[in-house]
Structure 1
Amino acid sequence: MKLFARCALAASLTLAALPAVSQTLTYLGQQIVPTSASFQGSPVGGLSSLDYVPATGRYLAICDDRSDRGPARFYELALDLAKFRRSASPGSAGVAWVGMTTLLDLDGQPFGRNQVDPESLRLDTKRNLIYWSNEGQRISSAMQNPTVRRMHPDGKPAGEFAVPGYYNPSGSAGGLAAGDTGPYSNLAFESIALTPDGKTLWTMSENGLAQDSLPAALGRGSRARMLSFDLESGKAGAEYLYDVGPVPFPPARPGDFATNGVPDMLALSAHEFIVIERAFAVGALTPGTAAHTKLPTSNTIKLYLVDTRGATDVSGWPSIKGRDVVPVKRTMLLDLSSLKNDDGSVLALDNIEGLTFGPMHEGKRTLILVSDNNFNPAQFTQFVALTIEGPLP
């Protein structure tokens, strides 16, 4: 791959020059790719993150396929924001697939089936490396630790960060038994953020660890952990608590699946971030219910501004139970269910899991989000573009 050869300008093109406290977000438009789409012999879907490459004007998106429908992989793609529409049926003319790269394990081999769960990636233009997170898994037959790894742009491994041991799942599959530790099932590392100064990588558990708090539910939040790594030494650094909100709407039938969690975040500075909270409840009737789908499902997507200043550093604490902890400050920027298309219809939302700063559009900087369609024919890959302007709340 040659797309990274001219990426040295990226550090000067981040939103670090646009202070979060002086910006707000406006709906520009969307594009929708049906789940039937394929590229280079593999189905297109499972896009769990998005990262803009300023030097090429293209994007990278990791796929959370566990080497089941194709090799564990990431895509290179192009988005034409001029073709995005504030429409319930915008089409996909603004989306072009450019390349696909296979992720390789630490031995330089493609991952076997169910050996990895890729969830997020970020390009480090200074070092010409890609950092990516693997959620691992919590099932009784095969516990897998969550990991954060480096790779070269061609997918070859370049090492692994040393994740503290208290993030490793142990105990029961449900994570609710006495003595259980680590993340709950499918609620580990879904995010990667790089600070604009190029010094620090951040990731976050989607919900709290089993030894810290219960998972989010209706009327109950969860205490997720933000974990940092020094990019030069690879060592774990500061660690903070992020209070995930409760599930905002009940499922249509009591007892059906419902969750809320953090699938991605983006660094504005060394201490400020934009964080996605993505809630889902089967059959819930909310303003953002996805009218495109045939399933009675609903997603509620909110963006938060997070500031770590003043929060308690819990690094090295195997558990927070019984201890006084000040979480990071969390301020809502936007509930995407409040956005409307040109015909007045509410923006229907799928499973939004990734975000990145995009290019300038008509003199304004952009924020681009992407959904993970779960390879479900009733879902879709959705790109939503927002422009950045005016004061935040």
Structure 2
Amino acid sequence: MRIRTRSAVLAAAAVLFLAPATFPAAAQESASSRLLGTYVVPHDLRVDGTPVGGLSSVDYDRRSGNFVFVSDDWSDYAPARYYRADVSVTERGVEDVTFTGVTLFRRPDGTTYPTIDTWREEQHQVPRPLRNVLGTVDPEELRVDPLTGEVAWTNEGQRNVPADGSERETVLLDPALRISHHDGRYVRDLPTAPNEKMTMGETGPRVNETFEGLTYTADGMQVVSALEGPLEQDGPPANADHGAFSRITVHDRAGLPTAQYAYPVEPLFAQPQPPNDWNTNGISSLLADEQPGRFLALERGYASGIGTKGRIFEFSTVGADDVMGRYSLAGGGFRAVQKKLLVDLDEIGVPYTDNVEGISWGPLLSTGERVLLVVSDNNFSPNQQTQLIAIAVR
């Protein structure tokens, strides 16, 4: 999800002159985690002619030893793509980040993905509603397959329905889970659960709240996806007064959905100012732990006039009910996943939290702790930051 903040402009501007920079960890730390440091990527950084920005996920490629970052650019600034980078993380924090290359995603015919406006122009003779998810993409999360080295990534999709409900101008782009070769060539799309298809708006995913989370289990035998927020029929999105239920879907190695679980999204951390202004809270990244059935979820909240908050929760699907066949979660009557707070970025001393959207495991430290790396999406705005935040987790 793109979050274009207004209230964070002054706070961001106050620290932009530090880029690139590393901040020492503050004294605060929780019982299970501590801040190692943060690093700010220069806003004007370009790799092979493309602007490095909109980084909405991070993952460690154990085959190459480097990290991969997907850009959620809808081909507006450059064709849809992902980056590779060498990231040096030690007990002293993120010491250096060197972007080593960019890979453009390809459609089945080998071409890059166009902007959504260009794609709509190309489709002006096609009967509506348009549903071709291969025509244009909005990437959100990318993971390296631990068994093959291919990359799995999500496309958020889109719904554009005219006020009169006419199919003549309707665009319904189903959210997608896509597999590409490491060089960007298209391989295939994974099946998605029936309730994750775009509709005219009464049911199904909400626009800009679809596949934000994706992860492989540690053994590589399952792919797990997460919707950012609730389905239309699952109740309203989370706000400062109440939380919401998102859905976590487990896919087998072939990609077939096998189970779906209700995930309780936290209420928004503060009332927006003014109270009726724009706000959101939901899952922006999903990461598997080594223990079967256990995962981490990054919840990113934004309250207009207040700012952004990032919290990482640990949860387990063990003991939760499979809700794939349940039409709505609004009425309760099921067991959701059990979760607990692992990291609150404010409480461990992150000096400034921007639009955090991705998490990945990093190296083991000599202390026995494991690094958890967080990345923020700057929305290509000079008033926001591309941050890398390194956390040591016991």
Q: TM-score, normalised by structure 1?
A: 0.81
Out of 56, 78, 87, the residue aligned to residue 79 of structure 1 is 87
Unaligned runs of 5+ in 2: 1-30, 117-135, 162-169
How big is each residue's C-alpha offset from its partner over 1:134-168, in whole Å with a ceiling of 9 and x where there is no partner?
11123224221101011110111111111123212
Comparing both structures, which one devotes a greater share of its residues to strand? 2
Question: Contact 2:66/2:86 (CA < 8 Å) preserved in 1?
Answer: yes
Give the equivalent residue in structure 1 for 2:101.
99
In the alignment, does 2:154 pair up with 1:154?
no
Determine the C-alpha separation between the residues in 1 that align with 2:142 and 2:187. Answer: 14
SS in 1 for 2:281: strand
Determine the C-alpha separation between the residues in 2 that align with 1:333 and 1:28. Answer: 15
**Structure 1 residues 255 and 322: CA distance shift in structure 2, 3 A:** closer
In the alignment, does 2:114 pair up with 1:112?
yes
Give the equivalent residue in structure 2 for 1:366.
371
Question: Contact 1:57/1:359 (CA < 8 Å) preserved in 2?
Answer: no
Aligned AA for 1:73? Answer: R
The Cα of 1:238 is off from its aligned counterpart by 0.9
Determine the C-alpha separation between the residues in 2 that align with 1:365 and 1:323. Answer: 36
In the alignment, does 2:57 pair up with 1:36?
no
Determine the C-alpha separation between the residues in 1 that align with 2:87 and 2:305. Answer: 32
The Cα of 1:330 is off from its aligned counterpart by 1.1
1:126-145 map, 5 Å = 126-140=147-161, 141-145=170-174
Determine the C-alpha separation between the residues in 2 that align with 1:273 and 1:159. Answer: 26
1:262-281 map, 5 Å = 262-268=283-289, 269-281=291-303
Question: Contact 2:62/2:146 (CA < 8 Å) preserved in 1?
Answer: no
Give the equivalent residue in structure 2 for 1:309.
318
Give the equivalent residue in structure 1 for 2:121.
none
RMSD over equivalenced CA pairs, Å: 1.8
In the alignment, does 2:209 pair up with 1:205?
no
The Cα of 1:84 is off from its aligned counterpart by 6.0
How big is each residue's C-alpha offset from its partner over 1:204-262, in whole Å with a ceiling of 9 and x where there is no partner?
1100100112111121211100011101x321111000010111111221221110010
Give the equivalent residue in structure 1 for 2:340.
331
Determine the C-alpha separation between the residues in 1 that align with 2:338 and 2:110. Answer: 41
Aligned AA for 2:196? Answer: Y
Unaligned runs of 5+ in 1: 1-22, 86-91, 173-179, 285-297, 341-345
SS in 2 for 1:207: coil
In the alignment, does 2:355 pair up with 1:351?
yes
1:146-185 map, 5 Å = 146-172=175-201, 180-185=202-207
Determine the C-alpha separation between the residues in 1 that align with 2:276 and 2:59. Answer: 36
SS in 2 for 1:208: coil
**Structure 1 residues 69 and 254: CA distance shift in structure 2, 3 A:** same
**Structure 1 residues 227 and 106: CA distance shift in structure 2, 3 A:** farther
Give the equivalent residue in structure 1 for 2:266.
245
Determine the C-alpha separation between the residues in 1 that align with 2:331 and 2:32. Answer: 38
The Cα of 1:83 is off from its aligned counterpart by 9.6
Question: Contact 2:158/2:175 (CA < 8 Å) preserved in 1?
Answer: yes
Give the equivalent residue in structure 2 for 1:215.
237
SS in 1 for 2:326: coil
Question: Contact 2:91/2:365 (CA < 8 Å) preserved in 1?
Answer: no
Question: Contact 1:31/1:84 (CA < 8 Å) preserved in 2?
Answer: no
Determine the C-alpha separation between the residues in 1 that align with 2:43 and 2:92. Answer: 19
Determine the C-alpha separation between the residues in 2 that align with 1:333 and 1:321. Answer: 27
Determine the C-alpha separation between the residues in 1 that align with 2:364 and 2:64. Answer: 13
SS in 1 for 2:195: helix
Determine the C-alpha separation between the residues in 2 that align with 1:319 and 1:367. Answer: 34
Which is worse superposed, 321-330 or 154-163? 321-330
Q: TM-score, normalised by structure 2?
A: 0.81
The Cα of 1:199 is off from its aligned counterpart by 1.0
Question: Contact 2:359/2:373 (CA < 8 Å) preserved in 1?
Answer: yes
How big is each residue's C-alpha offset from its partner over 1:291-315, in whole Å with a ceiling of 9 and x where there is no partner?
xxxxxxx111111010111111012
Question: Contact 2:89/2:363 (CA < 8 Å) preserved in 1?
Answer: no
Determine the C-alpha separation between the residues in 1 that align with 2:293 and 2:217. Answer: 8
Question: Contact 2:223/2:255 (CA < 8 Å) preserved in 1?
Answer: no
SS in 2 for 1:166: helix
The Cα of 1:321 is off from its aligned counterpart by 4.4
Give the equivalent residue in structure 2 for 1:7.
none
